[in-house]
Amino acid sequence: MTPEPGARTRMPRTNTCLNCGLEFGAVGTPDGSAARPLKEGDITVCMNCAAVMMLDSDLNVRGMTDSEIEDLLCDRAAMTELARMVRAVHFMRHEQN
């Protein structure tokens, strides 16, 4: 079954943001495209505080290692997309207040 555009991918269990404690059980795509299956190493951004986290082998969120951060910083396209996602969370929060 192909997910609908903008669909969320359910996580195997509820996760908690490492920064603000928000509990979440699904992730979505930043551009509204069809969600794909989650995999280890995927990056997620908290929709409450914009904390950047990575999924581990059990699809739980964890902090990124220094090496992973360095690799991400060297990937211009990934950093542009990540900045766009973080900015969107901040704009969304601003509109709610």
Mean pLDDT by 10 residues, the chain (97 residues): 57 93 86 79 92 95 96 95 90 77
Pairing of strands 43-45, 52-55: antiparallel
Which residue range is the domain that position 23 belongs to? Answer: 9-96
In a domain, 3, yes or no: no
Question: Model's pTM, two decimal places?
Answer: 0.82
Count up the domains in the chain and report the number: 1
Provide the pLDDT for residue 6.
57
Provide the pLDDT for residue 97.
63
In a domain, 80, yes or no: yes
Task: Dig out the tokens for 30 from the structure.
Answer: 């930043």
In a domain, 38, yes or no: yes
Q: Where are the beta strands (DSSP E) in the chain?
A: 9-16, 23-27, 43-45, 52-55, 61-62
In a domain, 2, yes or no: no
